[in-house]
Amino acid sequence: MTSHEIRKAFLDFFKSKEHLIVPSAPLVAKNDPTLMFNNSGMAQFKDFFLGNGTPPSKRIADTQKCLRVSGKHNDLEDVGFDTYHHTMFEMLGNWSFGDYFKKEALEWSWELLTEVYKLPKDRIYVSVFGGDEKDGVPFDQEAYDIWKTMVSEDRIILGNKKDNFWEMGDTGPCGPCSEIHIDLRDQAEVDILGGKELVNNDHPQVVEIWNNVFMQFERKADKSLVPLPAKHVDTGMGFERLCMAIQGKKSNYDTDVFQNTIQVIEQMSGKKYGENGTLSSNSYVDVAMRVIADHLRAVAFTIADGQLPSNAKAGYVIRRILRRAVRYGYSYLGFNEPFMSKLVPVLADQFADVFPELKAQQDFVTRVVEEEEKSFLRTLETGIRRFEALNPENGIISGDVVFELSDTFGFPVDLTALLAKEKGLKIDEEGFQKALLEQKTRSRQDSAKEATDWVELNEGSDFEFVGYDEVSAEAQIIKYRKV
Ligand code: ATP
Ligand code: MG
Ligand code: MG
Ligand code: MG
């Protein structure tokens, strides 16, 4: 099955179970002060679970664009080095708002995986919440008994609070989860080593694909748990991981979700992906191609959803991600001209029928990315030279130098940390924060230079570049004007 067919099969399946199919919410979380980016399928439905508002249907399913680069869920540092965590990914989900509960949810997930997708039953593990006496939350006997009718008991795992209990916050709705994991190793290895203990252990081929959350309690301020009057189901399945499992690949990047982009990167760089096998994390050519294929999606879809790169908040997160990708391309693939922007149309075409917002704004997004790249490429080379010349005696790059790299050359602190790691060095993060604070104090006294540096886009590509405000490399402000 192609990734398009896999996504469609998911939505068709839940449609046949009377779910309303809704579009993905934008990546930028608009009405939630606790969240910068949507990082799960349920984020757009949070209010319904809290009892504020009524859902358009008691059963909903969709594919949600998610970004896990900040806050509670931050997978940025894993990207490129492992094969199954992305910054931006699609989370397929189905929801019951006070309608069906554990039996239907678990039976349908089993039916979909084993009958529609035909994943082998003897490669699937499921987990249920094993209980936590100290916290007063019971073992999820109900889920265990449902699984027992479908899965042999030696494939059911009792999980802990970290993996198998979900809470919205310190108070509010919460409940046990039941996860589904798949073992994609070669049969010979499975025969020799077994696999149960590899679940939830960061094994690249024994991966979690689906999480079923059962909201059945409310956590009160005094920490007690009371049953919710209406019980809900919230599920999330990693689309790219599912494609890896169904397409029989060992890495998400080997699926058709990413291969398109990777092939274009190969052509552009004249370098080959996966020369030493597609799982190698010590080949920086491979890491760079994975990072670029991943970060391109995060950057392009976020811009299409209205968040421009900037120097603050969500905009700076996007700028940082883009700069990481540009530097990987520069250092390992020989790109010293904009290249990310050339990949935007490839991505836009691939997702035209799923997330048409990118295709609709393709030219605009391409220009934004290109301007960002040009701006960073102006200082990248000299910045890298400055970095390469460093040879700190204690192996720690001082806060002042980290600040200089940021202020003069536009190297976000996480990028400098990454460069340092590649050389076996560390950075003085605290010293950097101190230097940053001192600069902020200085510039507050100089507020004449202040300008707002991002706008929200509501009307597609009605914006054009009008140039830069040169303050310093890091503070380069790209200006847009409504045309
Ligand atoms: P993991 O333990 O692998 O980090 P998780 O437990 O944090 O995953 P959930 O919050 O349960 O993930 O999200 C539901 C599903 O979304 C997961 O089962 C997984 O398939 C997928 N998923 C989570 N994080 C990522 C990511 N960074 N990239 C791709 N898919 C992801
Ligand atoms: Mg995680
Ligand atoms: Mg997990
Ligand atoms: Mg999980």
- H or E segment at 367? helix 362-388
Query: Whose C-alpha lies nearest to ligand 1, atom 24?
Result: 85
Task: Specify if 102 maps to a domain.
Answer: yes
Instruction: Read off φ and ψ for residue 5, nearest 5 degrees.
Output: -70, -35
Query: Whose C-alpha lies nearest to ligand 1, atom 21?
Result: 238
The reply to whether 433 and 285 lie within a common domain is no
Give the other-Cβ count within 10 Å of 16's Cβ. Answer: 9
The reply to whether 385 and 400 lie within a common domain is no
Query: Residue 400 C-alpha to ligand 4 middle, in angstroms?
Result: 39
64: domain CATH number? 3.30.930.10
Task: Specify if 10 maps to a domain.
Answer: yes
Task: Specify if 169 maps to a domain.
Answer: yes
Query: Residue 237 C-alpha to ligand 1 middle, in angstroms?
Result: 7
Which ligand has an atom closest to residue 203 CA? 1
Q: Which amino acid is at 76?
A: L
Q: Where a domain ends, among 212, 246, 280?
A: 246
Task: Specify if 451 maps to a domain.
Answer: no
The reply to whether 206 and 304 lie within a common domain is no
Q: Which amino acid is at 9?
A: A
The reply to whether 311 and 355 lie within a common domain is yes
Could you report the predicted ipTM of this complex, rounded to two decimals?
Answer: 0.99
Task: Specify if 469 maps to a domain.
Answer: no
Pick from 59, 62, 64: which is nearest to 26 by CA? Answer: 64
For residue 137, the cross-strand partners are 132
The reply to whether 147 and 116 lie within a common domain is yes
The reply to whether 98 and 240 lie within a common domain is yes
Task: Specify if 458 maps to a domain.
Answer: no
Give the other-Cβ count within 10 Å of 455's Cβ. Answer: 16
Which ligand has an atom closest to residue 181 CA? 1
**Number of independent structural domains in the chain:** 3
The reply to whether 343 and 288 lie within a common domain is yes
Query: Residue 252 C-alpha to ligand 4 middle, in angstroms?
Result: 17
- Give pLDDT tens digits along the chain (483 positions): 999 999 999 999 999 999 999 999 999 988 788 889 999 999 999 989 888 889 999 999 999 999 999 888 999 999 999 999 999 999 999 999 999 999 999 999 999 999 999 999 999 999 999 999 888 899 999 999 999 999 999 999 999 999 999 998 888 899 999 999 999 999 999 998 888 999 999 899 999 999 999 999 999 999 889 999 899 999 999 999 999 999 999 999 999 999 999 999 999 999 999 887 766 666 899 999 999 999 999 999 999 999 999 999 999 999 999 999 999 999 999 999 999 999 999 999 999 999 999 999 999 999 999 999 999 999 999 999 999 999 999 999 999 999 999 999 999 999 999 999 999 999 999 999 999 999 888 877 765 444 433 334 433 444 444 444 433 333 344 444 444
Instruction: Identify whether the C-beta of residue 209 lies closer than 8 Å to the C-beta of residue 182.
Output: yes
Task: Specify if 440 maps to a domain.
Answer: yes
Domain range enclosing 267: 259-389
Best residue for ligand 1 mutational test, from 67, 124, 211, 301 (most atoms within 8 Å of Cβ): 211
The one-character DSSP state at 37 is B
Instruction: Identify whether the C-beta of residue 206 lies closer than 8 Å to the C-beta of residue 181.
Output: yes
Query: Residue 238 C-alpha to ligand 2 middle, in angstroms?
Result: 11
Task: Specify if 100 maps to a domain.
Answer: yes
The reply to whether 384 and 426 lie within a common domain is no
The reply to whether 212 and 93 lie within a common domain is yes
Query: Residue 237 C-alpha to ligand 4 middle, in angstroms?
Result: 9
Taking each continuous run of H as one helix and of E as one strand, the counts in the chain are 16, 15
The reply to whether 26 and 67 lie within a common domain is yes
Question: What is the pTM assigned to this prediction?
Answer: 0.91
Pocket lined around ligand 1, Cβ cut-off 6 Å: 40, 68, 75, 85-86, 89, 91, 208-211, 236-238, 240-241
The reply to whether 429 and 339 lie within a common domain is no
Distance of CA 74 to the CA centre of its chain: 8
Residue 73 CA: nearest ligand 1 atom is 7
Query: Whose C-alpha lies nearest to ligand 1, atom 9?
Result: 211
The reply to whether 276 and 198 lie within a common domain is no
| Segments in 247-306 forming alpha helices (H) | 256-269, 284-304
Query: Whose C-alpha lies nearest to ligand 1, atom 6?
Result: 163
Pick from 245, 261, 335: which is nearest to 298 by CA? Answer: 261
